[in-house]
Amino acid sequence: MRYRRPGLDVATHVILIIGALIFMLPVLLALMASTHTLPSLLSGGLALLPGSEGLDHYIQLLTQPAGGVAVPTWRLMLNSLIMALGIAVGKLTISIIAAYAIVFFRFRFRMLCFWLIFVTLMLPVEVRIVPTYGVVADLGLLNSYPGLILPLIASATATFLFRQFFLTLPPELLEAARLDGAGPWRFFRDILLPLSKTNMAALFVIMFIYGWNQYLWPLLAASDADYATLVMSLRRLTIAQDGVPPWQLATTMTVLALLPPVAVIVLMQRWFVKGLVDSEK
């Protein structure tokens, strides 16, 4: 219930707008700074408005190596994209079929399998980072896309969400399909997969963002610049040269790094919110 009190309503909107602005401020300032030269940033005066450089820094970064990064940023973005897509698609695929097996089949050691997978919910890759590095190195997967992707899909979050979703489906759906002559594969393809579309979209958004934003693992696994990702390279541009980091480039690269995931989240907001809230319930 909401009392209609005009004064309170205005105050509510004012606080919300101020809140939203404060949250946008760092990105707005970075966006402005990316259009200024470093001397103009240093000379004081608040860089609250677009500067003289326009998109020059973006073109410069995208086309040529800069700072301590040996490849142009388009290459970093490509690597990030491959890694994020690989994680999202890979995790979705292995999770949905694993959840399908656990929910719709009865076989020996079924619960053991469930618990083996479930335990992985507990430990993010950061905790086991050193031995994971060792394993990936032993397998010869350092500086490769599989090496970037595989350790990050070894977790059960998506399996768990699909399992919970499958359990909400009426059991008669499977029985009707069996009477209609559908075997395990047909049931999966014709019934389960179409019904899971919304959940898959939601998880895709979450996993894409998770993959794109990885920092520590690519830092270790991609020592070769050809496999470096955008987010892990940000730090290289914040290292001071002559006392001050090249902020005009660091802000440019940060804007490039946050643009794709933010675009995904804003465009797919409906699925994202549903997926997030459902998955954690």
User: Which residue among 247, 249, 271, 279 contacts another protein (CB under 8 A)?
Assistant: 247
Tokens describing residue 120: 């992985």
C-beta of 209 vs 228, nearer to another protein:
209
* Piece of 53-61, 65-73, 167-175 that binds another protein (CB under 8 A): 167-175
Tokens describing residue 242: 């002559």
Classify residue 235 by its DSSP letter.
G
Is 137 a binding residue for another protein by CB under 8 A? The answer is no
* Piece of 51-59, 61-69, 70-78, 248-256 that binds another protein (CB under 8 A): 248-256
Is 145 a binding residue for another protein by CB under 8 A? The answer is no
User: Which residue among 10, 54, 175, 189 contacts another protein (CB under 8 A)?
Assistant: 175
Is 189 a binding residue for another protein by CB under 8 A? The answer is no
Cβ-based burial of 44 (10 A; exposed 0-12, middle 13-18, buried ≥19) = exposed
User: Which residue among 113, 142, 201, 225 contacts another protein (CB under 8 A)?
Assistant: 113
User: Which residue among 59, 121, 137, 241 contacts another protein (CB under 8 A)?
Assistant: 121
C-beta of 204 vs 247, nearer to another protein:
247
* Piece of 19-27, 53-61, 70-78 that binds another protein (CB under 8 A): 19-27
List Cβ neighbours of 208 (8 Å cut-off, separation of 6 or more). 84, 85, 87, 88, 261, 264
The answer to whether residues 256 and 230 touch, using CB atoms and an 8 Å cutoff, is yes
- Of 145, 131, 141, the residue nearest 214 (C-alpha): 145
C-beta of 32 vs 70, nearer to another protein:
32
Name the 3-class secondary structure at 106.
coil
Is 35 a binding residue for another protein by CB under 8 A? The answer is no
Give the separation between CA 260 and CA 205, rounded to whole angstroms.
11
- Of 84, 122, 65, the residue nearest 217 (C-alpha): 84
* Piece of 56-64, 65-73, 208-216 that binds another protein (CB under 8 A): 208-216
